[in-house]
Amino acid sequence: MLHNVEDLKALHIEVGYDETTTFGNYTITVQNDPDGESPREWDNLGTMVYWHRNYNLGDVDGSKEYSDPDMFWYDLAGIEDTDSDLSKAMELANKRNVILPLYLFDHSGITMSTSSFSCQWDSGQVGWIYVSYERIREEYSCKRVSAKMRKRIATYLENEVKTFDQFITNDIYGFNIERNDEDGEEVHIDSCWGFYGYDDPYMTEEVIKGAIQYDIENTPAQAELF
């Protein structure tokens, strides 16, 4: 059955550990990518500090960096006198940084979030992700960090943790596109790996459909079919 280009736009491409979708004489295979790179190797805005004896959960192992978790707050507040009031250190740290908690759910696999999980038996807080106002001003060329900017940065940090969660849960995918010619020969059209999140439309709507669209428009025999 032949399809037109409008059908391509409406095509639903299955995403999973090994899913196949056909479109005319094109076969699209989407598979899990077991070799995805840790997003903490990228140029991130935030720093993830964690405390866990079994897992690497970010950028800084708090147990090695700080003698006590409370020292994290004194460090971010810039207070050298660690005998001073902890609550004041926390207050000052939050005035100088955007800080979000890190929670871990550990049961038949691990998953992370900046929000707590409903099951308290297998979950708990394991650290924080933060970025200093100084870094924000440098990155965004702003003189002050407004409430609106704080909210924007908090969302950015949440997304960094979401991407890291996709890495530790192996929610990473890649695709392969083949075209079956009239003589029965399979022609490789395109493939790419390292897409994070099964619900991200960029891979399916932009990259995969874009590759097929390009092949249709630049292969005379295909253009005649469509």
* Ranges of the chain with pLDDT below 70: 1-4, 220-226
Token code pair at residue 96: 């100088």
Confidence (pLDDT) at 103? 98
Confidence (pLDDT) at 225? 58
Confidence (pLDDT) at 165? 98
DSSP secondary structure letter of residue 124? E
Confidence (pLDDT) at 4? 65
Confidence (pLDDT) at 1? 44
Going from the C-alpha of 144 to that of each of 72, 77, 140, 148, 153, the distances in angstroms are: 24, 18, 10, 11, 13
* Radius of gyration for the alpha carbons in the chain, expressed in angstroms and rounded: 24
Please state, in angstroms and rounded to a whole number, the distance separating the CA atoms of residues 153 and 144.
13
Please state, in angstroms and rounded to a whole number, the distance separating the CA atoms of residues 124 and 84.
27
Confidence (pLDDT) at 199? 84
Token code pair at residue 131: 């970025």
pLDDT in tens, 85-129: 999 999 999 999 999 999 999 998 999 999 999 888 899 999 999
Confidence (pLDDT) at 226? 55
Write phi, then psi, for 99 (nearest 5 degrees). -130, 130
Confidence (pLDDT) at 187? 94
Please state, in angstroms and rounded to a whole number, the distance separating the CA atoms of residues 38 and 166.
9
Confidence (pLDDT) at 119? 82
